[in-house]
Amino acid sequence: MTPVEIIRIEPGKRLLWTFGPGLALVMLIATGAFGHDSWINKKHLVDPQSRQWCCDEHDCEPLKTGVRENGAGYLIAETGEDIPYARVIWKSEDGLWWRCRNLKDNSTRCLIGPPPGS
């Protein structure tokens, strides 16, 4: 059997072979399977002080433990980090506290809280 015979595709199957992978990619994007189009990305949120973009692909998630006010800002219980008031972004859509982390050193890139009074 020659290499040409091994990869020969029947005429009726050529269309699926040609368009199948592209169609699968379009479906993944359309269903939001990449997660990159989260509400944080759609709002183009940036840290108010550093001006860093909050969300890369997989670096934002709701905090499992609490966030406490400490007089100068907020203490993130999970990391022990103190985030000054000026760095908090008051735009959480679901009423939860969200933390976006720097993937290189795991520090907090953005702290997103529920709008005051919500």
pLDDT in tens, 31-43: 333 444 578 888 8
Determine the Cα–Cα distance for residues 71 and 83; give it in Å rounded to an integer.
Answer: 11
Name the residue with tokens 């399977």.
33
State the residue range of the domain holding 16: 1-34
- φ/ψ region of 35 (left if φ > 0, alpha if ψ in -120 to 50, else beta) reads left
Look up residue 83 and give its DSSP letter.
Answer: E
Q: How many domains does the chain have?
A: 2
Mark whether 98 and 58 lie in a shared domain. yes
Tens of pLDDT, residues 64-92 = 988 999 999 999 999 999 999 999 999 99
The mean pLDDT value of the chain amounts to 79
Asked whether residue 118 is domain-assigned, the answer is no
What does the radius of gyration of the chain's CA atoms come to, in whole angstroms? 22
**Residues 60 and 107 both lie in one domain:** yes
User: CA-CA distance, 84 to 105, in Å (whole number)?
Assistant: 19
